[in-house]
Amino acid sequence: MGTELKLNEKSFYKIGEVSALTKLPSSVLRFWESEFSFLRPRKSQGRHRVYDRQTIETVLEIKRMLYEEGYTIMGLKRYWRRRRKQSTTEVPLEKVEQVRNELQDILGILNSHSTKSGEVSVHQ
């Protein structure tokens, strides 16, 4: 919980600050960047690493999985590959149709209100 409060103070953190927040040496953070393609903090104009909140949360998740859950680096890479594939799966056609119908209903409501007030209607 203490980490949550500290993370809300700033938008970006230097590697030393992230090291202190996560209780990991900077060298470990740099090593993980070389091992995990999904862990890429931004670079400042001076080419310094700057971590945003999401990147720090990723670091904390990696730490938890490696140190508490006992994943190996290879196992963690496989996990993240599978996780990425699952997040890019297609939306079911039924859901697309449902959203499309809801949007057409909203468009109809907007058109009926705009024609009542004398404005030009939105075409579908």
Q: Is residue 81 part of a domain?
A: no
Residue 5, pLDDT score: 40
Of the ranges 22-26, 40-44, 108-112, the best mean pLDDT one: 22-26
Q: Is residue 36 part of a domain?
A: yes
DSSP letter for each residue of 87-98: HTPPPPHHHHHH
> What residue has token string 């907007």?
110
* pTM score, whole prediction: 0.62
**Structural contact between residues 38 and 81, judged by C-beta atoms closer than 8 angstroms:** no
pLDDT class of 47 with cuts at 50, 70, 90? confident
Q: Is residue 77 part of a domain?
A: no
Q: Is residue 115 part of a domain?
A: no
The count of domains in the chain is 1
pLDDT one-digit tens code per residue, 73-116: 999 999 988 887 776 656 677 878 888 888 888 888 888 877 66
Q: Is residue 53 part of a domain?
A: yes
Residue 35, pLDDT score: 93
Distance set, CA 42 to CA 4, 58, 74, 83 (Å): 21, 14, 24, 22
Structural domain for 30, as ranges: 2-71
Domain with 7 in it: what CATH number?
Answer: 1.10.1660.10
Q: Is residue 96 part of a domain?
A: no
